[in-house]
Structure 1
């Protein structure tokens, strides 16, 4: 039997909370007992602690420990609750951890890597974002089995692709960008060739973005957003520079699998990624989009695609869209398939 420890994750309308909720939903539908750790903000801290420990205690038995335990990392629990989870992890014969973020990379603070790797080494299997992330963890002492995911699932209802796969490539492109605009300052200085075709969705837009962007669409909830993206391409980029992702955000793209990529593909939209991104090779080898060195290359790269190349991309994106919407990526990596 498989078990998943599921923490309460408040929905702030961002990718991080949806990724965790989707994994819990997918596994819960597929022969997994989800151990929902209680959270009630109206109760006192002590009451919540006792309820959490009572919940964990219901699964402390020899039959349970012969199964597999899955944890999503990093844990958001307080120290006492983490202690209870760690005690439980020790008892299981099979232990899996799914990485959502590495704070040592996200913050650019390698002093955190030692504690992250110490935690991850408690598991038989670590599910990493990419080969780059795996290499980083190995360099910091990770010694357990690792499998790479590359694309997170993105649960959503089925939809038509919106593409006529038999038609020639259109010269009238649309490019979409969706996310936390406050950390996407490159949107203040988008090249004019891209600004004409760029449609931007998200929170925390600066006044300059609202003023300069030709197509600022505002915020749309992540559950509804895939159905707003009709045709075109999805841009995966971060940081302040249009030449290449720079600073901590740029460095993180070289290791992680952005949930934004999954959003676009779930919407049957091929992606445009930075050539230095961790998933750039995965995207191009699986015909899920194109890679560029800078935002200024986008227009020419799109125009250089032949009709056959475009159709091949659309067919592959449609196939992966179905996988992501049905939760197949995490299930396949747990089964060590594809």
Structure 2
């Protein structure tokens, strides 16, 4: 069987976003002998981007897909251009099975209240022969909104890294947060001492926040010397709120994979989709509110902490080998 993975990268992206895509490309190539088809486009609304799109549609895409014998093609979804997506699909032979590996569902995020967009996205997904969904919560939402095609659950994004957090044989009740700090408004609240990493920090934080700088996704793990990694979103400490906070009820935040692949236990909101994964693997703590951190971390014994860290390291070994995407993709192709 000739299996391909198609990925479209935005030339303007310099954040951790592409890492999830690149890791999947590397894993499927090495583990399942997939061949990669990659495009590098500027997918924005500038005049030059629109002119370049004509070139993509009439030259770049047809040239790359020409004369390729494809049986199964997995597309890293979404591509963020309907015309580019349709052009790619139109050039595939009718026997080719098309699958989407979902990275984001914009009808759950940026277009959450747009009924027309929802219909378009569900129709687009139903045209595929199968989907890799983030988790059971996302799959439940897809089914409730009309998706009929086969679905395999990823569970969590794999995270390839040779770096791990510094070894710790002690428990000091320390906490870190890594991410795009521009949208991490909850950090302006005073709730617990925390080290933060990432681009676009606020000009002013409470004295409980210590800014530690910005590192590449590959380099960051070796700087995480804290005991726990926090997954939170929105501007409140009593719940995750706003577009991205609500989105946590369905998606797999990549920072969960960052922390766990580093061997770091996590702290996550109890209503997050990945809270179940964290509890199942006993690789962290699930909380209702950040106001609980003082009590929860204060009452945790060193032995209990080291057990959580050990469990996080067990998950880490799977993440660094690409276990989860290999299983999800294999299940789809094997009709499981």
For normalisation by structure 2, the TM-score amounts to: 0.88
Matched, 1:70 2:74: yes
Q: Which residue of structure 1 aligns with residue 299 of structure 2?
A: 304
The one-character-per-residue Cα deviations of 1:239-287 (angstroms, maximum 9, x if unpaired) are 0001111122221011110001011111111100000101101111111
Q: Residues 235 and 12 (structure 1 numbering): CA distance in 2 closer, same or farther, change over 3 Å?
A: same
Q: Which residue of structure 2 aligns with residue 203 of structure 1?
A: 199
Q: Residues 237 and 221 (structure 1 numbering): CA distance in 2 closer, same or farther, change over 3 Å?
A: same
Greater mean alpha carbon deviation, residues 319-328 or residues 138-147: 319-328
Matched, 1:157 2:158: no
Question: What is the SS of the residue equivalent to 1:104?
Answer: helix
The equivalent position to 1:98 in structure 2, one of 96, 101, 105, is: 101
Cα-Cα RMSD = 2.5
Instruction: Within 5 Å, give how 1:12-51 maps onto structure 2.
Output: 12-30=13-31, 31-37=33-39, 39=41, 45-49=53-57, 50-51=59-60
CA distance in 1, matches of 2:209, 2:128: 49
Shift of residue 39 of structure 1?
Answer: 4.9
CA distance in 2, matches of 1:327, 1:11: 27
Is the 2:185–2:235 Cα contact (8 Å) retained in structure 1? yes
Give unmatched runs, 5+ long, in structure 1: none
Shift of residue 237 of structure 1?
Answer: 0.2
CA distance in 2, matches of 1:116, 1:56: 24
The one-character-per-residue Cα deviations of 1:151-180 (angstroms, maximum 9, x if unpaired) are 11111115476133xxxx62x221110111
How many pairs are equivalent? 322
Is the 1:74–1:102 Cα contact (8 Å) retained in structure 2? yes
Q: Which residue of structure 2 aligns with residue 186 of structure 1?
A: 186
For normalisation by structure 1, the TM-score amounts to: 0.87
Q: Which residue of structure 1 aligns with residue 324 of structure 2?
A: 329
CA distance in 1, matches of 2:200, 2:40: 31
The equivalent position to 1:143 in structure 2, one of 138, 141, 148, is: 148
Instruction: Within 5 Å, give how 1:308-323 maps onto structure 2.
Output: 308-323=303-318
